[in-house]
Amino acid sequence: RKEVEQDPGPFNVPEGATVAFNCTYSNSASQSFFWYRQDCRKEPKLLMSVYSSGNEDGRFTAQLNRASQYISLLIRDSKLSDSATYLCVVNPTSGGYQKVTFGTGTKLQVIP
């Protein structure tokens, strides 16, 4: 099993739709989780952290399910500008010299 897995998509959704992505991880002791957004030919940018209790930032909601070892990102009322690739990131367990793992990304295309 890969350390971090994402459905590559593409997810093609109409403007205004609600879309959700999942990201599964294999290390049950992982400590922190993030969602990044990457536009074509640009660097990844932090979208939001993922907290155990779930968190929301405007139209975006992130959730963590430790029992099933996945994180999710929900985008409501999709905008054309949301078209991008969304990367999940799983940070290492505490203690020791372990590396951060990026998912390969889920591509979202919002259609007019």
- The nearer residue to another protein, 68 or 97, going by C-beta atoms, is 97
Residue 42 contacts another protein per CB under 8 A: yes
Judge contact between 78 and 19, C-beta under 8 A: yes
| CA dist., res. 72 & res. 88, Å (int) | 9
Binder among 73, 75, 87, 108 for another protein (CB under 8 A): 87
Residue 109 contacts another protein per CB under 8 A: no
Cβ at position 81, least distance to another protein in Å: 19
Long-range CB contact pairs, 67-72, < 8 A, 24+: 68/24, 69/24, 69/25, 69/26, 69/28, 70/22, 70/23, 70/24, 70/25, 71/22, 71/23, 71/25, 71/33, 71/35, 72/20, 72/21, 72/22, 72/23
Q: Applying CB under 8 A, what is the total number of residues that bind another protein?
A: 23
Cβ at position 94, least distance to another protein in Å: 7
Residue 20 contacts another protein per CB under 8 A: no
Residue 90 contacts another protein per CB under 8 A: no
Where does this chain bind another protein (CB under 8 A)?
31-32, 34, 41-46, 49, 87, 89, 91-92, 94, 97-100, 102-105
